[in-house]
Amino acid sequence: MMYSNIKNIILFFSLIVFVDFAGGYFLKKHFFNISSGTYGRINEGLKSDSKVLILGSSRAMHHYDPNILSKNLNISCYNSGLGGHGLFYEYAVLNERIKNNSPDIVILDLSPNILIDNRSYSKLNLFLPYYNKYQSFKEIIKLDPKFSNLELISNLYIYNSTGYDFIKNYLQKSIKNNNGYIPLQDQVNPNDFIPFFLQSEKIDKTKIDYLNKIISLCKKNNIKLIGVVSPTFIKFDRNNRIINKLDSIFKNHNIDFYNYSDFPKLYKKPIYFRDQLHMNRLGAEEFSKDISNKIN
């Protein structure tokens, strides 16, 4: 009886190991072909061979029209902005792009809260599927202490959040490719608007370290880096505490930095904004024209 129980236990755990290995192998094989949804954005950005690479959060994703920049600069352009993610993601994507198809120009969009967002670490689990393939993603994932021993975690576990994008990819293969740009169509209502303002949140030294890593990568690989704080409907860094810190870092490295947070042409003009932090399509068009002229 005891021998039979031991045998059943061994068979049970062997089955678990087999399912984990086989399932993980299948998902890994197909995951990097996803071209829709959040993971599609990341995958397509990593595959891009554009000469201009736009990096940033949702503000980058919605504010820079690569078609306008490409036309004005006469050079290919791709928008790799990703909603809710900042310097850690930007560092990883840039590092991997350099290894394969290094850009000539990087436009780094810097949200006014980029150095203080304390949710950055808890959102790193999004990148688990890239852990075993890309060293740079492995590095940033391990910034979250709970993933410090990730090698011991199941193969299936790292893909457990990808199901939606798998399904979306196969149902929506013909999604129009706009070189990563996603325009917003709505317009902010000034009569139903409560602005948000930064207070005295502590600056995260690790984020400054990763900004400096991005700067070092660009210098080492002869990439022209441009730092930008794109327009806001109403400034939420009212005293420019974060913006001045960013400006100082870029000046110390003799790198161009443009603060558009209160850009007169668009500032407090509802027709150009979806909300306090995001421009709509009209605003993005005007801004893309202006920033491309600055770069040119």
For 132-163, write each residue's pLDDT tens digit: 889 999 999 999 887 766 554 556 566 665 56
Reported confidence tier of residue 21, pLDDT bands at 50, 70, 90: very low
**Percent of the chain beyond pLDDT 70?**
80
**What are the tens digits of pLDDT across the range 45-104?**
999 999 999 999 999 999 999 999 999 999 999 999 999 999 999 999 999 999 989 999
Nearest CA among 78, 43, 81, 76 for reference residue 60: 81
What is the CATH code for 32-295? 3.40.50.1110
**Nearest alpha-carbon partner for 44 in 91, 101, 88, 84:** 101
Report pLDDT for 6: 60
pLDDT at 24 over 60: no
For helices 205-220 and 241-252, what crossing angle results, to 10°? 30
Residue 175: what pLDDT?
Answer: 46
Q: What is the pLDDT of residues 239-263, one digit of tens each?
A: 888 899 999 999 999 999 999 999 9
In this predicted structure, the answer to whether residue 114 has a pLDDT above a threshold of 60 is yes
Place of tokens 């409560």: 194
For residues 2-21, average pLDDT: 50
List alpha helices for the chain, DSSP H.
2-31, 37-47, 58-63, 66-73, 87-101, 135-141, 163-171, 205-220, 241-252, 281-295
Pair of tokens at residue 204: 């995260």
Taking CA atoms, 242 is separated from 107, 206, 212, 283, in Å, by 18, 15, 15, 23
Mean pLDDT of the chain, nearest integer: 85
| Cα–Cα distance, 107 to 275 (Å, whole number) | 23
